[in-house]
Amino acid sequence: MKEFDLIARFFSNRSHQRRDVQIGIGDDCAIVNVPQGQSLAVTTDTLVSGVHFLENTPARAIAHKAVAVNLSDLAAMGAEPAWISLSISMPVSDEAWLEEFSLGLQEICEYYSVQLIGGDTVQGPLCVTITAQGFIPKDQALTRFKAKPGDWLYVTGTLGDAGLALDMARGKVDVPTKYRNYLQSRLDYPTPRVLSGTLLRRIASACIDISDGIIADLGHILKGSQCGALLQVDKLPMSEAMHESVSAEQAIRYALTAGDDYELLFCVSEEQKGNLDLMLATANVPVTCIGQLSGHHAKIELRHGKERYAFEGKGYQHFA
């Protein structure tokens, strides 16, 4: 199957349709309309086979994850997703693989009402790049640089599951059978916190999505906002699968340094705490307070109860 037939069959004919897309796939560019009063948020993420996913990962999961990690970046800034483009490099045009990949793509796009508006298809090692675009009401973007000492630190969902799942897949940890599917899905089918991101717009003073582990990603907020943080490791939210699979100390290590969770880490001032509680009462979003910001520039102090918690470890970095 050749390039253009492939694009028509697997991508243009299957894409979710939005009214703000004037011209989608098929011309030299897509033409789209941004609503009045809204800013456009734009982000790109690449998944490379063997680096970002194991070689035996199902095509449906690769498609889901490639979109999800981009929607997670939009969510971290409070943007509502609208459009994606897809650049795909693959060694051969394998129809069964493409069928599964494009269904995975279609599923997540339908779910979040996102339209695939263009892309590029080339031959090469398996690699998927997605660019996602979304809307934010003007001047309401959540950033990394507006947190203040005294703000409370929160996280959505549970931490460390994807890292534990990766070690499970590599045979490094033995996980009880009943938790394996859950963990595998946390790694392969991450949930971008799209609704939480938009609801936090007027509430959070800073926000980031956790892709490289909380130590690394909290570090970005602290650097951006010139703050420090006191982090209670005994408050880190973890799944039952985590608690039942590894020691308490290992669980804390996963929660602090493992990547790929795509939960949101955000700061809320004392004055906005009431609004956060109000939001949480109506939206069904699991959120945990895990610490507070301090004035000690870029320093993260770990505590377990009232005791200092000694820990060496960082998040994931390419080229490290």
Residues that bind Mg ion (CB under 5 A): 28
- State the residue number with the nearest CB to Mg ion: 28
Distance separating alpha carbons of residues 22 and 82, to the nearest angstrom: 13
The answer to whether 261 and 162 are in contact (CB under 8 A) is: yes
Q: How far is the CB of 87 from Mg ion (least distance, A)?
A: 14
* Region near ligand ADP per CB under 6 A, out of 25-33, 161-169, 258-266, 287-295: 25-33
Considering only residues 63 to 122 of the shown chain, the ones binding ligand ADP according to CB under 6 A are 86, 88, 116, 118-121
Residue closer to ligand ADP (CB basis): 130 or 293: 130
Binding pattern for the stretch 200-219 against ligand ADP, x by CB under 6 A and - elsewhere: --------------------
Please report, to the nearest 10 degrees, the dihedral formed by the alpha carbons of residues 186, 192, 197, 199 taken in order.
Answer: -80
The entry of Mg ion, ligand ADP, none that residue 312 binds, CB within 5 to 8 Å by partner kind: none
Q: How far is the CB of 189 from ligand ADP (least distance, A)?
A: 21
The entry of Mg ion, ligand ADP, none that residue 95 binds, CB within 5 to 8 Å by partner kind: none
7: contact with ligand ADP by CB under 6 A? yes
Considering only residues 26 to 45 of the shown chain, the ones binding ligand ADP according to CB under 6 A are 26-28
Identify any residues that bridge with 133 across adjacent strands, giving them in sequence order.
42, 83
130: contact with ligand ADP by CB under 6 A? no
Q: How far is the CB of 116 from Mg ion (least distance, A)?
A: 17
Q: How far is the CB of 46 from Mg ion (least distance, A)?
A: 22
Considering only residues 273 to 292 of the shown chain, the ones binding ligand ADP according to CB under 6 A are none
The entry of ligand ADP, Mg ion, none that residue 227 binds, CB within 5 to 8 Å by partner kind: none
Phi/psi of residue 310, nearest 5 degrees: -80, 130
Distance separating alpha carbons of residues 219 and 227, to the nearest angstrom: 9
Torsion sign over Cα 97, 98, 101, 102: negative
Q: What angle do CA 193, 265, 152 make, to 5 degrees?
A: 130
Q: In the numeric block, which tokens belong to residue 195?
A: 């609704």
Distance separating alpha carbons of residues 146 and 194, to the nearest angstrom: 21
The answer to whether 309 and 303 are in contact (CB under 8 A) is: yes
Beta strands in the chain (DSSP E): 21-23, 31-32, 38-48, 80-90, 115-123, 127-137, 152-156, 206-209, 228-232, 264-268, 287-294, 300-304, 307-308
* Region near ligand ADP per CB under 6 A, out of 20-28, 63-71, 124-132, 148-156: 20-28
The answer to whether 241 and 312 are in contact (CB under 8 A) is: no
Q: How far is the CB of 25 from ligand ADP (least distance, A)?
A: 4
Task: List residues near ligand ADP by CB under 6 A.
Answer: 7, 11, 25-28, 86, 88, 116, 118-121
